[in-house]
């Protein structure tokens, strides 16, 4: 019957049902199911399906946002038990992410952070209006593999270059990879400023992050 539960977990993510995801996560704990199995064999299956459907144009941004919220809710229920058991989810890498100084757009950046966390990255979300120095300091503090810088305005986009240069000045490049994103950002811009990659959406950002840490 465990397979039925895993299937229901995946479906709760696909449907973006936060309450169902929480309930099923609690049920898994009550039944003594390994919380990592619940994540990897249940909920993540749903996330991957939504990602594939989104990439195929069959599901859309609101579906992605809802799936991310449901996943976050499920993981919040399971994480205390994971910590209690002392089992660590295998982490693919460490990401510091934020929206650059002067810019307060949050939704896209938060979605990327959620999806990266779901995919198995340790994510430090610095929020919005983040100074260039804060990206550098946090990257050094947590030994980051990737720094993700979001900008939704052409006026703040130029500061993505400042982050790349500041990381170089701090001696953290090329070990620390830089991902850039946001509405006005293009692959051409990423190339011009010396970033390691660009993505126009959260699904692409996860694939890019996996490539950058050699997990693809």
State the average pLDDT for the chain. 90
100 and 206 part of one domain? yes
Q: What is the mean pLDDT of residues 95-110?
A: 88
Q: Are residues 58 and 158 in the same domain?
A: no
Of 51, 67, 85, the residue at which a domain comes to its end is 85
Of 51, 68, 85, which one is at a domain's C-terminal end? 85
> 54 with 79, same domain?
yes
Question: Which CATH number characterizes residue 116's domain?
Answer: 3.40.50.280
Cα 38 from Cα 6, distance rounded (Å): 7
Of 63, 85, 107, the one marking the end of a domain is 85
Residues 64 and 105 both lie in one domain: no
Same domain (yes/no): 11, 56: yes
Query: For residue 104, what are the domain limits?
Result: 93-212
Instruction: Read off the pLDDT of residues 154-179 as tens digits, 9 standing for 90 and up.
Output: 899 999 999 999 999 999 999 999 99
Nearest to 113 by CA among 139, 146, 142: 146
Question: Would you say the pTM of this structure is higher than 0.75?
Answer: no
Let me know: does 7 contact 49? Beta carbons within 8 Å.
no
- Express each pLDDT in 3-51 by its tens digit: 899 999 999 999 999 999 999 999 999 999 988 889 889 998 898 888 8
Chain segment 128-152, per-residue pLDDT in tens: 999 999 999 999 999 999 999 999 8
């Amino acid at each position: 019957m465990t397979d039925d539960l895993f299937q229901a977990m995946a479906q709760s993510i696909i449907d973006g049902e936060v309450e169902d995801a929480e309930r099923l996560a609690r049920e898994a704990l009550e039944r003594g199911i390994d919380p990592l199995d619940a994540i990897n064999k249940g909920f993540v299956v749903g996330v991957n399906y939504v990602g594939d459907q989104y990439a195929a144009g069959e599901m859309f941004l609101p579906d992605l946002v809802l799936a991310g919220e449901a996943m976050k809710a499920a993981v919040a229920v399971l994480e205390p038990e994971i910590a209690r058991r002392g089992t660590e989810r295998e982490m693919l890498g460490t990401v510091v992410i934020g929206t650059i100084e002067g810019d307060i757009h949050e939704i896209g950046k938060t979605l990327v952070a959620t999806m990266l966390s779901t995919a198995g990255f340790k994510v430090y979300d610095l929020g919005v209006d983040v100074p260039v120095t804060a990206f550098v300091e946090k990257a050094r503090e947590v030994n980051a593999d990737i720094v993700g810088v979001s900008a939704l305005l052409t006026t703040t986009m130029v500061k993505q270059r400042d982050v790349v240069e500041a990381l170089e000045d701090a001696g953290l490049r090329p070990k620390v990879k830089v991902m850039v994103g946001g509405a006005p950002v293009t692959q051409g811009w990423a190339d011009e400023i010396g970033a390691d990659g660009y993505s126009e959406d959260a699904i692409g950002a996860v694939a890019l992050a996996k490539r950058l840490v050699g997990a693809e």
